[in-house]
Amino acid sequence: MNPATAAPLSLAATDGTNVPFIRLDSAFPELFAELMETVERIASQSAFTLGPELESFEAAFAEFCGTGYAAGVSSGTAALEIALRALGIGPGDEVIVPTYSFIATAEAVSTVGATPVIVDVDPETALITAEIVEAALTERTRCVIPVHLFGRPVEMLPLLALCRARGIAVVEDACQAHGALYKGRPVGSFGDAGCFSFYPTKNLGGWGDGGALVTNDPDLDRKVRLLRSHGEAVRHNHELATGTHRLDTLQAAILEVKLRYLPDWNQRRREAAEALRAGLAGTAVIPPAPAAADSDHVYHLFVVRSGERDALRDHLDARGIASAVHYPTPIHLQPAYAGQKLRPGSLPVAERLAGENCSLPIFPAITDEQIAEIVAAVESFETAAVS
Ligand SMILES: Cc1ncc(COP(=O)(O)O)c(C=O)c1O
């Protein structure tokens, strides 16, 4: 979840609602105490950038992702941008991105000077497919960014086959999918690079901004490390002029603690999603399609569809159930991409989803009672709608 406005996002444990949209680490007192000790340890060492704490988290995260390398960076957006730069993508190149994503997916392409080619998504999964990508290929296509949106893995094998055959790079946007599996392997490990966000609300979130870039390619990893920190591999020797895009040591230490809990948290998200899906069957909303048999969804978000989305949200709000919309405006209709001249109606699947989608609360600390309250509130919306 990202802030709807530029105002600071309050992630308070509860705000008076029966079911908040999310609860973070304060929901788990033991974890919270461990994290506070971690903060104190790092602060007392005065070790705030790079160093062994960061390396230790990077090794643990690479192992979690099943990749040879992981480099901590300052955000998921920075991970995407650095991945593209490390692959040599820039002006004159086209990069295919889905319109149904957070803006950062396209933004990273724009900030390296390449052209985002913004495409529609599959109506069932809200993800891009090899067929959609194939229809958008040109001689200038250099890269594709599949987004494992809401925690659901993209069908990677056909996409990789299409891209490999044409020498097109694949950068996975796994910012919402830490630990999701496709054919038994973690997402992020399939493409040339996988990009993760540790924004606080993500399945693995820090206490501030952060991100990581994973890869199996040692040369790419080396370039990424140069690009994230002043082009400097040897102290005071700057091979590239690149700026500061590091993951703070404090964040890395916090994330390493939380990574140990992530498999259990993802499991709880899956259980909650199954309970919601079962409870919502036969109500006025359409629950998200279950994951494909060979995939493991991690439900960063549980997004239902309703033709009366705004009325549904008002109804939930009146019953103390928080909700959100991801995303109300597809990327091609954002003011930042007006120059692309993609008018309303040009990418119809995403435009319809944007008008119907409603994200219901899902988080590891959600209780069975809260799930029952959500289901009851949606059921009464149906009753209200027909009476
Ligand atoms: C799909 C997707 N891509 C990229 C990002 C960018 O991550 P960050 O907010 O860490 O820059 C996000 C985070 O919101 C995301 O959800």
Any residues with CB less than 8 A from the CB of 167 and at least 6 apart, and which? none
Give yes or no: residues 292 and 323 share one domain.
yes
Print pLDDT tens along the chain (387 aa).
Answer: 344 445 555 444 445 568 999 999 999 999 999 999 999 999 999 989 999 999 999 999 999 999 999 999 999 999 999 999 999 999 999 999 999 999 999 999 999 999 999 999 999 999 999 999 999 999 999 999 999 999 999 999 999 999 999 999 999 999 999 999 999 999 999 999 999 999 999 999 999 999 999 999 999 999 999 999 999 999 999 999 999 999 999 999 999 999 999 999 999 999 999 999 999 999 999 999 999 999 999 999 999 999 999 999 999 999 999 999 999 999 999 999 998 888 999 999 999 999 999 999 999 999 999 999 999 999 999 777 655
9 within some domain: no
Answer yes or no: is 200 within a domain: yes
Nearest CA to ligand 1 atom 8: 76
From 99, 176, 248, the mutation candidate for ligand 1 (largest count of ligand atoms within 8 A of CB) is 176
Cα–ligand 1 centroid distance for 143 (angstroms): 18
Number of domains the chain contains = 2
Answer yes or no: do 64 and 211 share one domain.
yes
Ligand 1 atom 7 nearest Cα = 76
Cα(185) to centroid(ligand 1), Å: 22
Among 95, 132, 97, 133, CA closest to 115: 95
State how beta strands 141-144 and 169-173 pair: parallel
Contact 206, 182 (CB under 8 A): no
How many residues in the chain?
A: 387
- Among residues 239, 255, 271, which one ends one of the domains? 255
Instruction: Among 237, 255, 273, identify where a domain stops.
Output: 255
| DSSP labels, 148-164 | -GGGPPP-HHHHHHHHH
104 within ligand 1 shell (Cβ under 6 A): yes
**Is 76's C-beta closer than 6 angstroms to any atom of ligand 1?**
yes
Distance 150 CA to ligand 1 centre (A): 11
Counting beta carbons within 10 angstroms of the beta carbon of residue 206, is it exposed (0 to 12), middle (13 to 18) or buried (19 or more)? buried
Per DSSP, the three-state class of 194 is: strand
**Could you tell me the end-to-end alpha-carbon distance of the chain, in angstroms, rounded to an integer?**
34
Q: Which of 198, 233, 255 is the C-terminal boundary of a domain?
A: 255
**Would 135 be classed as within a structural domain?**
yes
- The CA 197 to ligand 1 mean position distance, Å, reads 6
Domain interval for residue 302: 262-386
Give residue 211 CA to ligand 1 midpoint distance, Å: 9
Cβ of residue 359 lying under 6 Å from some atom of ligand 1: no
In this structure, what is the dihedral angle of CA atoms 146, 149, 154, 159, given to the nearest 10 degrees?
A: -10
Q: How far is the CA of 48 from the centre of ligand 1 (A)?
A: 24
Q: Strand runs (DSSP E) across the chain, as ranges?
A: 69-73, 94-98, 115-119, 141-144, 169-173, 181-182, 185-186, 193-197, 211-215, 232-234, 237-238, 295-296, 302-305, 357-360
